[in-house]
Structure 1
Amino acid sequence: EVIAGNDDWNGTRISFDLKQDGNYVIVLFKHMDWREPVEFMHHCSTKWAIFLMSLKSLIETGKGSPNPSDVKIDNWN
């Protein structure tokens, strides 16, 4: 559970579950329990995807794009 940070995040829960599928590992990511579907939630959904793609790149190639070198999508960065 998120207990400190952006007010919209407080009280939400983040989980990562790993699932083996043949030669692959699937990351099942969830950011749950938002109080309401605010605009910031949509920003976070996109940013989580960017961070997970960066993590995948880091694992596969040795080079990721962590903050502050990640893709900028809006003024909340």
Structure 2
Amino acid sequence: QFNFLYQAMARISALDDAVGRIDDVRDQLGSLERRLPESFPGAGWVDEAVEESARLSGRLQEARDGLIQELGLFDQPGRVR
């Protein structure tokens, strides 16, 4: 059972890391988006990438929270039982 819990915690940590990396990329894309003129040919693509990265980050956070709740590790997201 300890091995299962260890693997679950490793997955939670990996999800946290993925969310952090996606958020970093979204921040960089957002910075690029603010500097590009609206008439720039790739401006629409950058905007879509920012939106999609936000959706992906949210889905990964939901997966992380769901895993935590299923394992009963926290009463509420962010609070140790």
Range into which the TM-score falls when normalised by the shorter chain: 0.3 to 0.5
- Bigger relative contact order, structure 1 or 2 (CA pairs below 8 A, ≥6 apart): 2
Structure having the larger proportion of residues in strand: 1
**Larger Cα-atom Rg:** 2
Structure having the larger proportion of residues in helix: 2
TM-score, normalisation: structure 1 = 0.37
